[in-house]
A and B are shown apart, each in its own frame.
Chain A
Amino acid sequence: MTDMTDLADVVMDWALYLAFGFVAAAQIMAIIRLWIGPETGDRILALDTMFINAIGLIVLISIHQGTQIYFEAALIIAMLGFVSTVAYARFVLRGDIIE
């Protein structure tokens, strides 16, 4: 029985490190897309993806440390990401954010 628990812990550790690597790689790809553009919509999309990946990284940190203390940070980043994406898009569409 303790064999199975050890195996579960090992699998959990490897899955956590793999998830850190994958989400960080996705974040780096979003940074590259933000850098090379070429269209304004691509840059807005890259920023939105970076917000989503940041939420993922924060959730992974909270799993790694075993706390619930990062929940508010992830929620606030989700809300600010949506608001800033809509603000960027409205600025391109209307030339103004609050008309």
Chain B
Amino acid sequence: MTLASLATFAIALCLLVGAIFTLVAGIGLLKLSDPMTRLHAPTKAGTMGIGALLLASMIHSYALGDGSLHELLIMGFLFVTTPVSAIFMAKVNIHRRACDMPPPPPRDETWATLDVEDDAPEIGNPTRPDRTRQ
């Protein structure tokens, strides 16, 4: 087995792992039942899938001869930014009362996400008080 065919098998393995993780992320996004459970599926599995695909791309560039590592930029950027956007989307779910409410904070009155005036219609949530499931 030469080094080139070994690299090709490694590319195929990384492609399969990334594709299966991405497909599982899509199925989880479509089939899960609750907004917070739907949040967990793509933010973890999607990042792992894209990481494997970018790893396949890096191995492929080395197998072609002109090796380059600049897919690491995309990988690092995604690994840093995905938790940040995930926590923003979780805050959106809490703000819209689309999930179970967190317990009251130990020191203050309420959470900052829920602390909106009732007379601010665009950021308050007066339309759906029935979504509060506490």
Interface residues of A, Cβ cutoff 8 Å to B = 1, 4-5, 7-9, 11-12, 14-16, 18-19, 21-23, 25-30, 32-33, 39-42, 44-46, 48-49, 52-53, 55-56, 59-60, 62-63, 66, 68, 71, 74-75, 78-79, 82, 85-86, 89-90, 92-95
- Please measure, in the bound complex, the distance between the C-alpha atom of A16 and the C-alpha atom of B113, giving whole angstroms: 44
Contact A82 B81 (CB under 8 A): yes
Interface residues of B, Cβ cutoff 8 Å to A = 1-2, 4-6, 8-9, 11-13, 15-16, 18-20, 22-23, 25-27, 29-30, 35, 38-39, 42-43, 46-47, 49-50, 53-54, 56-57, 60-61, 64, 66, 68, 70-71, 73-74, 77-78, 81, 84-85, 88-93, 95-96, 98, 113, 120, 122-123
Interface of B is mostly: helix
Contact B50 A56 (CB under 8 A): yes
Interface of A is mostly: helix
Contact B47 A48 (CB under 8 A): no
Q: Specify which chain A residues have a CB less than 8 angstroms from the CB of B19 in the assembled complex.
A: 15, 18-19, 21-23
Contact B122 A75 (CB under 8 A): no
14 A–B contacts, CB within 8 A, in A order: A4-B5, A5-B2, A8-B12, A41-B39, A41-B90, A45-B38, A48-B42, A48-B89, A52-B78, A55-B50, A56-B22, A59-B56, A92-B123, A93-B88
Contact A68 B61 (CB under 8 A): yes
Contact A23 B38 (CB under 8 A): no
